[in-house]
Amino acid sequence: MRIAVVALLCSLSAAAQVIAIHDNGVKKDLDCNGLDVMVAGNDARLRLRGDCKRVTVTGNDNTVTVDGAERLEVLGNENEVTWARGVGADAPRVSNVGNRNSVRQAGAKVLRVDDGSEHVEIMGSGSTLSIGSSAGGVTLSGANAGRSAGSVAVSSSGSSSGGKLVLNASGSTDTLECQGRTVTINGSSNTYDFRGDCESLVVNGTHNEVTLDGVRKIVVPGAHNQIRWARALGRDAPTITVNGVQSRVSQSR
């Protein structure tokens, strides 16, 4: 079984260490100690304790439980990655470009629609769809309620205007009502159409396509995202900051 701590020399002659798991079928608890972790093997069952800087999964069929992470990158297929908290932010930055991967926050619950064939995953605080009680039951509001294949988070405020939407799903297609909220997209490879006015949009994930009716501020740290806005709130154009590689923000025509 190969679990190595590899020193990578950078241009400034400092050493960056990586915990690398290359073997298949590894079952182990590991201490992150602020290091990067690379899972290149297959069919591993790993718990990463403490805070990790970046966790990269290039293998297949792995189950990885992470206490804390700054960034999660899942390049392989059919992996299950569960995180408890972000490091330096409410949630880690997530890049999920493999196939049939699950990247979710610990404690997620599943609600199923009446026919039991589809489900919505409830991912913590902040919301992609709103859920509230009505006549003793549960009401899913928002476009495509009960049919989103991705993750959603539940708003505890009970208010449908203002507040935050945090989207951690990857590979989803949804039309959502913005309702004046601040939207953060941590997932990747999504297509979102936001109706109404958004206070701001932050895209940490990669390879997302986003269209907005109205928005005041757009920030894009993630790479390979395409953002289109129709109108600005209170000015001719929204405030735009793009740091991600090959990400583009443009006005809809």
Q: Is-contact 109 122, C-beta < 8 A?
A: yes
Largest CA distance in the chain: 64
42-49 contacts at long range (C-beta below 8 A, 24 or more positions apart): 42/76, 46/21
pLDDT of 13 reads: 30
- Domain boundary assignment for the chain: 3-105, 109-251
46-53 contacts at long range (C-beta below 8 A, 24 or more positions apart): 46/21, 51/87, 52/87, 53/87
Helices first, then strands: H and E counts in the chain: 0, 22
**CA gap 110, 148 in Å, rounded:** 12
Q: Is-contact 120 149, C-beta < 8 A?
A: no
Instruction: For 210, list phi and psi in degrees, rounded to 5.
Output: -130, 130
Q: What is the 3-state secondary structure of 36-51?
A: EEEECCCCCEEEEEEE
Residue 6: name the closest of 70, 49, 56, 43 by CA. Answer: 56
Tens-binned pLDDT, residue by residue, of the chain (253 aa): 555 554 433 332 334 589 999 999 999 999 999 999 999 999 999 999 999 999 999 999 999 999 999 999 988 888 999 999 989 887 888 888 778 888 888 865 444 333 333 333 344 333 334 333 333 333 333 333 333 333 333 333 333 346 888 888 887 888 899 999 999 998 888 899 999 999 999 998 889 999 999 999 999 988 899 999 999 998 889 999 998 889 999 998 7
Report CA-CA distances (Å) from 175 to 18, 133, 186, 209. 40, 22, 17, 12
pLDDT of 3 reads: 57
pLDDT of 170 reads: 80
pLDDT of 162 reads: 60
Please list, residue by residue across 171-183, b when 16 or more beta carbons sit within 10 angstroms of its beta carbon and e when fewer do: bbebebbbbbbbb
